C-alpha cells in the first residue's frame, strides 16, 4: 500500500523540557521519507499565547491545526493512499483524526504510554499533548466505544477517572486483532486510525522521548499489533509522534532510532 506523509514539527503542545527536540526529531524522520510522497507543514517559530483557553501556546497550536487541516483536505481526492502524519507532539493528531472522521466512523487504536485524557481544567501542565484524546472525545469526533488503548500505563488520577467514565477499552497487543474486528461490524462505515506515540515502547527499546515510562511494548509487539489491526478495517490514516532525540546522541544510537521508526512506518502500510 502506498502512503503519503505530512511532517509537522510542532513542539508547542508538549510539556517536556525537551519540547524543542521534537523539531529535530521530526526533521530526522523527514530525511528518511520518500521526498516525492512527503510534505512539510510549517509550524510557527513563536511559542504562542493561551488565548484564555487554559492551554499553553494555544494560538500556535490552533494555527498549526488549521494548516494541517488544509493540507489534509488537499489530499482528500486520492483516498486510496492513506496519509501518515508525523509529529511533533501528539497535538497534531486532532486535525488528522478529524479529517478521517469527516469521511467515516474512525476506529482509533491509541498506542501510547499516556491516555492524553486531561482537560484544561484537570491538566497539571496545561500542555495540549496531554489533552488531545479528551478533546476528540468531548468534541464527538471519536466515539468512546471506538477507542482502543494499547500500552497505556502512565496515568494521573483524572485520566484514570476519565477512562472509567467514558468506558474506554484497554487492550493487550495480542488482543488488538479481535478488538478491531469487533468494532468493525460490516466495515462499511468505519476506517481504522493508528496513533503511535513512541513512548508506548519500553525505554530499553526506544529512549528518544520526552516522557519515557517503564514496562512498555517491545518493538516487534507493537509492529505486530499495528499489522493485526489493519486486518479488520481499511486504514484511514495514521500518526507517529513525540520523537525527541537525546542531545549529543551517537551516530549508532541515531541509526537505531531511525531503524525502529521505519519499522513502525512500515507496519502502518505493509
Mean pLDDT of 238-250: 87
Dist CA 88 CA 91 (whole Å):
8
Q: Which pLDDT value is given to residue 248?
A: 64
Q: Which pLDDT value is given to residue 257?
A: 95
Sheet containing strand 38-40, edge to edge, reads 38-40, 4-8, 83-87, 235-241, 190-197, 105-111, 147-150, 169-171
Task: Using alpha carbons, select from 267, 264, 268, 218 the residue that is nearest to residue 242.
Answer: 264
Q: What's the whole-number average pLDDT of the chain?
A: 95
Q: Which pLDDT value is given to residue 251?
A: 58
Mean pLDDT of 67-78: 87
SS3 label, residue 163? helix
pLDDT tens digits for range 148-189? 999 999 999 999 999 999 999 999 999 999 999 999 876 568
| Grid-cell match 546522541, residue found | 249
Mean pLDDT of 238-262: 86
Q: Which pLDDT value is given to residue 64?
A: 98
Where do the H-state alpha helices sit in 88-218? 93-101, 132-138, 157-166, 176-184
Contact 180, 194 (CB under 8 A): no
Amino acid at each position: 500500500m502506498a502512503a503519503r506523509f505530512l511532517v509537522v514539527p510542532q513542539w508547542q503542545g508538549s510539556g517536556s523540557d525537551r519540547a524543542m527536540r521534537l523539531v529535530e526529531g521530526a526533521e530526522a524522520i523527514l530525511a528518511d521519507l520518500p521526498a516525492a510522497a512527503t510534505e512539510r507543514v510549517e509550524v510557527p517559530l513563536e511559542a504562542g499565547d493561551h488565548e484564555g483557553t487554559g492551554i499553553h501556546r494555544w494560538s500556535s497550536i490552533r494555527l498549526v491545526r488549521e494548516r494541517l487541516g488544509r493540507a489534509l483536505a488537499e489530499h482528500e481526492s486520492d483516498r486510496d493512499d492513506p496519509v501518515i502524519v508525523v509529529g511533533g507532539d501528539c497535538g497534531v493528531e486532532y486535525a488528522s483524526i478529524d479529517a478521517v472522521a469527516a469521511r467515516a466512523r474512525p476506529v482509533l487504536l491509541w498506542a501510547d504510554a499516556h491516555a492524553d485524557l486531561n482537560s484544561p481544567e484537570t491538566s497539571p501542565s496545561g500542555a495540549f499533548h496531554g489533552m488531545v484524546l479528551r478533546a476528540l472525545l468531548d468534541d464527538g469526533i471519536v466515539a468512546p466505544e471506538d477507542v482502543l488503548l494499547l500500552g497505556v500505563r502512565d496515568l494521573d488520577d483524572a485520566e484514570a477517572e476519565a477512562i472509567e467514565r467514558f468506558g474506554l477499552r484497554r487492550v493487550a497487543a495480542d488482543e488488538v486483532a479481535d478488538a478491531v474486528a469487533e468494532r468493525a461490524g460490516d466495515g462499511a462505515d468505519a476506517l481504522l486510525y493508528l496513533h503511535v506515540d513512541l513512548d508506548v515502547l519500553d525505554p530499553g527499546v526506544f529512549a528518544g522521548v520526552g516522557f519515557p515510562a517503564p514496562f512498555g511494548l517491545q518493538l516487534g509487539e507493537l509492529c505486530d499489533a499495528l499489522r493485526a489491526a489493519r486486518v479488520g478495517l481499511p486504514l484511514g490514516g495514521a500518526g507517529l509522534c513525540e520523537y525527541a532525540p537525546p542531545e549529543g546522541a551517537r551516530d549508532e544510537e541515531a541509526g537505531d532510532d531511525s531503524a525502529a521508526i521505519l519499522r513502525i512506518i512500515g507496519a502502518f502500510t505493509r
